Amino acid sequence: MLTRRPRRLRRTPALRQMVRETTLTVDDLIAPLFVADGSGIVRPIGSMPGQAQRSVDRLTSELDALMELKIPAVLLFGIPAHKDVTGSSGWDATGPVPQAIRAIKQYAPDLAVIADVCLCEYTSHGHCGVLADAPGSGDVLNDPTLELLARCAVAYADAGADIVAPSAMMDGQVAAIRAALDAAGHDQVAILSYAAKFASAFYGPFREAAESTPAFGDRRAYQMDPANGREAMREVALDVAEGADMLMVKPAGAYLDVISAVRQRYDLPLAAYQVSGEYAMIKAAAQQGWIDERRAALESLTAIRRAGADMIITYFARDAARWIAGGA
Ligand code: PBG
C-alpha cells in the first residue's frame, strides 16, 4: 500500500493550479528593443525571428503592443550611424538611445525605460571599452573606459531614462556611474547592474542584431568564465557595495544555479537575461517543427522564475505576455 501518492495533486488543472509554486506574470517581463539611428527603418534580424532594428519614428507599433499588454519596462540598445575607436556615439545626446528615451517618455510615459550602458555597439573594433595604444593590442583598458561608460549613463539619464544598466563588465563601473549620475543631479536614476555576465556563446545572434561582434579576439578578458559560480558571488558583492539598486545574471538558462545562489544571498531585486541565443534556439527548433514554441518558451521563463529571478529580460516578452493573458 502506497501512503504517499504525489499524483493525487496532479489529477486536474484546478488541483495543479492550486499547488503551483511559481508564477510567471506580465509584471516580470522586460522587452529589449534595438534602436537604429535614422528614420523609416524596420530591419528584421535574421537570427532572431520576430525582432527588428527600428528607427525611433518606427517604434510606435511596438510601444502600442507593449502598452496594451501592460509590459512594465523596455531595455534599449542603440545602433549608431558612426562608430569610432572610443565609441563616442554612445554618449551623443542626439544618438539613437537618447532620442528613443525622449520619444518613449512622451509617447508611452508609463513604461519604465532602461538603457543598456556599454561601448561595444559604438566602437569600431566592437570591444566593450577603449583599447591600449600598442598596435594590435587587444587589451581593453579598464579605468579609462569607466569615464566613458559614465558619460553614456549621464546622457541616458539626461534624456529621461529611469534605470541605466551597465553591461561592459569593467571593474568599478557601478561606482563610477553612480558618482557621475549623482554629480549630474540624477540621484533618482537607478542602476541595474549586469553583475554576473558570462563570456557566452549564447550572445551570437545579439551581435548580429546590435552589429557589435568584436573585430578581433573575444570578450573573455572581461566577461566571466562560464565555469565560475563562486566568482559570480564576488562580482555581485562588489556591485552591491558599489551601489547597484538591482542585480542581473546573464545568460539565464545555463546559469540557473547562479540565479538561485544570488537570490539566496542577496535581497536586491534580481533580473535574469534570457539572451539572444536562448531565444534563437527555441525559435529555430519551433520553425523546424521540432518543439512547441509556446510551451518551450513559457517553460524556460518559468524555470528562470523558479530559480529566483524577479524579472526576466526576454525577446519573448510580447509573446509571453499574450500567452499568459490567454491569447493564441
Ligand atoms: C553589450 C551586451 C551584449 C548583450 C547585452 N548587452 C553582448 C555582448 O556582451 O556581447 C547580449 C544580449 C543577448 O545576447 O541577447 N555588451
CB-based contacts of 84, cutoff 8 Å, min separation 6: 122, 123, 124
User: At residue 216, what are phi and psi to the nearest 5 degrees?
Assistant: -150, 155
CA–CA distances in Å: residue 82 to residues 37, 52, 78, 96, 121? 9, 19, 11, 11, 10
Q: Is 283 a catalytic residue?
A: no
Which atom of ligand 1 is least distant from the CA of 205?
14
Cα separation, 152 vs 164, in Å, equals: 9
Instruction: Give the Å distance between the CA of 95 and the centre of ligand 1.
Output: 19
- Residue 79's H or E segment, with its range, is strand 73-79
What residue owns the CA closest to ligand 1's atom 6?
A: 167
Q: Are the CB atoms for 140 and 128 separated by under 8 Å? A: yes
Please report which confidence band the pLDDT of residue 97 belongs to, taking 50, 70 and 90 as the band edges. Answer: very high
Q: Are 168 and 118 in contact (CB under 8 A)?
A: yes
What pLDDT sits at residue 318? 98
Cell numbers given for 215: 573585430
By percentage, how much of the chain surpasses pLDDT 90? 93
Please give the distance, rounded to the nearest whole angstrom, from the Cα atom of residue 311 to the centre of ligand 1: 17
Q: Which atom of ligand 1 is nearest to the CA of 121?
A: 1
pLDDT tens digits, 111-163 = 999 999 999 999 999 999 999 986 566 799 999 999 999 999 999 999 999 99
Best of 167, 193, 276, 279 for a ligand 1 pocket test (most atoms within 8 Å of beta carbon): 167
Residue 210 has a pLDDT of 86
In the residue annotation, 105 being an active-site residue is answered as no
Q: Whose CA is nearest to atom 14 of ligand 1?
A: 203
User: What domains sit in the chain, N to C, each tagged with a CATH number?
Assistant: 23-326 (3.20.20.70)
Q: How much helix, strand and coil, in percent to the nearest 5, is found in the chain?
A: 45, 20, 40
Alpha helices in 70-186 (DSSP H): 96-107, 142-159, 173-183
| pLDDT attached to residue 189 | 98
What is the number of the ligand 1 atom nearest to the C-alpha of 274?
15
pLDDT number for residue 136: 62
pLDDT digits (tens, 9 = 90+) for 1-24: 899 999 999 999 999 999 999 999
The set of protein residues with a Cβ atom below 6 angstroms from ligand 1 is 116, 118, 120, 128, 167, 203, 206-207, 219, 275-276
Q: How confident is the model at residue 285 (pLDDT cuts 50, 70, 90)?
A: very high
Residue 227 has what pLDDT? 98
The stretch 290-306 carries a mean pLDDT of 98
Could you tell which of 203, 223, 279 is best to mutate to test the pocket of ligand 1, judged by most ligand atoms within 8 Å of the CB?
Answer: 203
The pLDDT, as a whole number, for residue 126 is: 93
pTM reported for the whole predicted model: 0.97
Question: Which tens digits make up the pLDDT trace of 19-56?
Answer: 999 999 999 999 999 999 999 999 999 999 999 999 99
